[in-house]
Amino acid sequence: MQSKPDPVARILAQWRRERPDLDVAPMGLIGRLSRLARLIQAEQERTFARFGLNGATFDVLATLRRAGPPHALTPSRLIDAMMITSGTATNRIDQLEKAGLVARVPNPRDRRSTLVALTEAGRALVDEAVAAHVETQARLVAPLAPQERNALEAALAAALARLERPDERQDSR
């Protein structure tokens, strides 16, 4: 029995028919990566929702948890670790503070600043959520053989390293 082509393969075939002058191979790779990212994100969001969280709020709690004791960071360190804007961080912190999962506490090293700290409830919740998150991720990569996962991870790491350093990219203009 022959398997039917995936939607990206159908799109590529259409472009090859309509524009044989274009090399649309990169479109296939990018299209599949995009579809995969959307599927992964949807599964992760379902996992986070079981804990009353979403990807954004989980990110704050997980960043604080993996910072190690005392599980507290200055807002600027938290922003840097999550690679978001200060306005975005403030909104997330406000939501989590209202839920009793984080608290703004005085910084013992600098009286002019505060720390964002996990509360006991926040730590308990993120510990449960991260365990479920890891289970979800394991389930999502399970269809790949270990050597496929390793090869894919290496290829993606190399691509990210090159794309995140603009000085190493070739200018396509």
For the chain, percent of residues with pLDDT exceeding 70: 92
Range name among 79-83, 84-88, 164-168 with the lowest pLDDT average: 164-168
Measured between alpha carbons, how far is 103 from 109 in angstroms, rounded to an integer? 17
User: CA quadruple 160, 162, 163, 167: dihedral positive or negative?
Assistant: positive
Q: Residues 8-52: pLDDT tens digits?
A: 999 999 999 999 999 999 999 999 999 999 999 999 999 999 999
What is the chain's mean pLDDT, rounded? Answer: 91
Strands (E), 14-86: 72-73
> How many angstroms separate the Cα of 18 from the Cα of each of 12, 37, 132, 143?
10, 28, 46, 34
We find that the CATH architecture of domain 45-165 is Orthogonal Bundle (1.10)
Residue that has been written with the tokens 């200055």 in this structure: 74
pTM greater than 0.75 (yes/no) = yes
Is it the case that residue 168 has pLDDT exceeding 60? no
pLDDT (average), residues 91-116? 92
With cut-offs at 50, 70 and 90, classify the pLDDT of residue 87: confident
Q: Residues 148-166: pLDDT tens digits?
A: 999 999 999 999 999 988 6
Range name among 20-34, 54-68, 80-94 with the lowest pLDDT average: 80-94
With cut-offs at 50, 70 and 90, classify the pLDDT of residue 167: low
User: Side chain identity at 133, as an amino acid letter?
Assistant: H
Is it the case that residue 63 has pLDDT exceeding 60? yes
